[in-house]
Amino acid sequence: MAITYFQDTIIGTETLSAPGNGTPLEVAVNNLFSTKNYTCLVTVASVNTNVIVSFEASLDGTNYVTLLANRTITANGSTYESVINKPFKWIRPKFVSESGGTAATVTFSIAAA
């Protein structure tokens, strides 16, 4: 996952071409930075019938819970969701499933502040 740090914002981007978990992005480090607001952007290309995506969060980097519930996307393009006041240490994207073929690519971008 490509990671960029600004003074108070962390941005990570990753593209997945098959269902699975993305690389976790560390969004809190003791004495360095702490985030609790997240914008999650999803860009889909070459969708057949649909793809289902979600975002997960963790406090320990091992046990994950759903941060943003499954979202079904039926067309190419971008969409986003925002989460406010939910502090976590790790955020990861999840390409849950694909219907109608195997050609879709999903680019996940996370901004944490």
> For the segment 60-90, what is each residue's pLDDT rounded down to a tens digit?
999 999 999 999 999 999 999 999 999 999 9
Exposure of 104 in the CB half-sphere (CA atoms within 13 A):
28
The CA-based dihedral angle spanning residues 68, 72, 75, 78, taken in that order and rounded to the nearest 10 degrees: 0
CATH number reported for the structural domain that contains residue 94 in this entry: 2.60.120.680
Residue 7: pLDDT above 60? no
pLDDT band at 4; cut points 50, 70, 90: low
Segments forming the whole domain that contains residue 45:
2-112
Instruction: Compute the Cα dihedral for 100, 101, 102, 103 and give only its sign.
Output: negative
d(CA 11, CA 8) in angstroms, rounded, equals 10
> For the segment 31-66, what is each residue's pLDDT rounded down to a tens digit?
677 889 999 999 999 999 999 999 999 999 999 999
Residue 29: pLDDT above 60? yes
First to last CA, the chain: 18
If you average pLDDT over residues 18-41, what whole number do you get? 89
Residue pair 101/49 in contact (Cβ under 8 Å)? The answer is: yes
Q: How many domains does the chain have?
A: 1
